[in-house]
Amino acid sequence: MTENIATNVAKAFDDSTKQFNDVQASLLTAAKQSALASIDVYEKSVTTVLDFQEKLVESTGFAGANGLVAAQVKLFSDLNAAGVSAARSVFA
- Give the pLDDT score at 10: 83
On whether the CB atoms of residues 31 and 39 are closer than 8 A, the answer is: no
- Give the pLDDT score at 64: 82
Sequence ranges of the domains in the chain:
2-91
Q: How many helices (H) and strands (E) does the chain have?
A: 2, 0
On whether the CB atoms of residues 77 and 50 are closer than 8 A, the answer is: yes
Q: Average pLDDT per run of 10 along the chain, which is 92 residues long?
A: 79 89 95 96 96 92 86 95 96 84
- Give the pLDDT score at 60: 87
Q: What pTM does this model have? A: 0.76
- Give the pLDDT score at 14: 87
